[in-house]
Amino acid sequence: WVCLCVSCSGLAPCPGLLGGSCLLGIGIWVLVDPTGFREIVAANPLIFTGAYIILAMGSLLFLLGFLGCYGAVREKKCLLLFFFMLILIIFLAELAAGILAFIFRENLTREHFTQELRSHYQRSNDTDVFTATWNAVMSTFDCCGVNSADDFEESIFQQINIDLVPEACCKKTPNSQGAHYLSRERCSMGMMEYRNTKGCYSTVVEYFETYIYLAGGLTILVLTIEVSLFG
């Protein structure tokens, strides 16, 4: 993370500052996005833990990038040595985080979300965090369940309700503002022409695919820069 250049005109941006800024942006977006990624993973604290880790790492990298540039400009060897030691620790932490992400990848599978939906989703008008966020997701993306409406079969929802599918699965009238359904009664009876048939898993993954690739690319870029500087 040595500052890229010192010229007569001033300083060029440091990789640490850029990498830290990118990680900060990703972490903040995951935590504050009101209608997208946050709602899908609200029932999975592992993902939010990862977001907080990214946020902390981004803040630390940004600070270290600034210190590295300052140390390079002022030619303070003690500060630079301390800086490189911290970068090594961060690199090892990032490597460990990548390994943990691979180990716990099953927590992001269709089966995991389907099991959680069947076990915890309750009523269409419930105010608990899990049910409310799933209602928001299904209503926002015009989808139903993880894979399809079949995910509600033999679920907690059907055990405590007479409806076959929740209200959030019902199709809305074209160009309607708010919850104006074609026929809520027929939808709740399971009639396919009145409910959304596509699952939320594929819909949301496609929606966030660009952001996922961006986050992965930035992570690889940061790690590559770190390895090249130590090489």
The stretches of the chain forming alpha helices (DSSP H) are 15-32, 37-40, 45-74, 77-103, 110-120, 129-141, 156-160, 184-188, 200-230
The helix/strand/coil state of 106 is helix
Enter the tokens of residue 151.
Answer: 């995910």
Alpha carbon 20 to its chain's center: 18
Give the pLDDT confidence of 184-226 residue by residue, as tens digits: 889 988 888 999 999 998 888 777 766 666 666 666 666 566 5
Q: Does the model's pTM come out above 0.75?
A: no
Higher pLDDT, residue 156 or 43: 156
